[in-house]
Structure 1
Amino acid sequence: MRKYSLAFLLVGWTLATAAPVLAEDQPDVDCEKAMTQMEMTYCAEQDFAEADERLNAQYKVTRQAMKDWDGDAMDGLGSAAEALLASQRAWLTFRDAQCAFHGYQARGGTMEPMLIYGCQAELTRQRTQQLKEQTDLMSGN
C-alpha cells in the first residue's frame, strides 16, 4: 500500500510542477501558415478568443446604451437592459449547443475542437454585429 502512495505522490508532484510551465508556454504558430491539426486548432481557438473579446466590449457598449434608453423610456414598458441580458444568456446557450452540434462532423476526432472553435468564432462575430446594429438603432445613429 505504501508503494502506491509514494507513486501517486510522485506523479502528483510532477504534474503540479509541470502545469505552470505548460501554461506559460505559448506555441510559436504562424496562423497564416498553420499546417498541423494542432496548429490549426490553436489558431481557431485564438480566433474565437479574439472574437469573444470584441463581443464582450460591444456588449458593454450595448448594455450602457440600453440603460440610457431605459432612463429615457416611459415607466411600465419594461427594461431594455433586462431584455438584453435575457437575450444574451439565451444566445450563449444557443451558440454553445449549435457549435457542439457542428462539431459532430468529426466527433471524437482531432478536428472536432477546431470545428467547434471556428463555429463559435463565426457566431460570435455575427452576434457582435447584431449588438452593434441594435445599439445604433436605439441611439439614433
Structure 2
Amino acid sequence: MRLIGCLITLMAAPAAATGLRFDATPTEICLADVSDGAQSYECIGRAATDCMKQPGGETTVGMGFCLDAELNLWDGKLNGAYQALRADLTAQDAGRGDAAISLSESARDMQRAWIGFRDARCSFEAAQWHGGTGASPAFLGCAMTMTAEQTLYLWSLLHGAR
C-alpha cells in the first residue's frame, strides 16, 4: 500500500504544473439535481471525467490528477456523512438502554472494516497493471468510486432511504 501511495503522490503533483484544473461543479450539480439516492450513483466520476477532457487530461499523469481530485471531494463528503451518522446513532443509543448493541460503535466498526476492504480491493485493481503506468489511475478510480458509493450509503442511512 505504501508503494501505491508514493505513486499517487508522484503522479498527481506534476499534473498541476501542466495546467490541468479540477472543477467539482459537474458532480455537485448532478447531486443537487437528483431526487432519488439510486440516481446519485450516476454522479460518481462526473467531475473527474470532465477534468480528463482537458488537454493533458488523457495522460496517465492527468488521469491521476483528475481522479485524485474527485476522490478528495468524495472523501470530504464521506467524512461529513460519517460524523453526522455517528452523532445521530449516539443519540439513538442513549435512548436504547444498556442491553442493546451500540449502533454508533457498530457503525464505527463497519467503517473501519470498509476502509481496509476499499484499500485492499483498490490495491488489487492496481496490481493488475503489473507495475505499469496504469496502476495509479486504476487505484485512484477504484478508491474514488468506492468512497463515493460509501458516502451515498451513509447518506441513505442518515435519511432513512435504505
* Shorter-chain TM band: 0.7 to 0.9
Alignment RMSD (CA, Å): 1.9
**Matched length:** 115
Work out the CA distance in 2 between the residues paired with 1:84 and 1:45.
26
User: 1:68 and 1:132 mapped to 2: Cα distance?
Assistant: 17
Indicate the structure whose relative CO is greater, using CA pairs within 8 Å and at least 6 residues apart. Answer: 1
The letter for the 1-side match of 2:105 is E
* Structure whose alpha-carbon radius of gyration is higher: 1
What SS is found at the alignment partner of 1:106? coil
Equivalent residues of 1:47, 1:121 under 8 A apart: yes
Equivalent position to 1:29, from 20, 39, 55 = 20
Deviation at residue 26 of structure 1 after TM alignment: 3.8
Displaced runs of 4 or more, over 3 A: none
Is residue 118 of structure 1 aligned with residue 109 of structure 2? no
Q: How many Å separate the matches in 2 of 1:60 and 1:26?
A: 31
Could you list the runs of 5+ residues in structure 2 that have no partner in the other structure? 1-12, 22-50
Query: Between the two proteins, what is the percent identity of the paired residues?
Result: 29
Q: Residues of 2 paired with 1:45 and 1:107: CA distance? A: 21
1:86 correspondence with 2:109:
yes
More helix as a share of residues: 1
1:130 maps to 2:153? yes
Q: Which residue of 2 aligns with 1:43?
A: 66
Map 1:40-79; keep pairs closer than 5 Å: 40-79=63-102
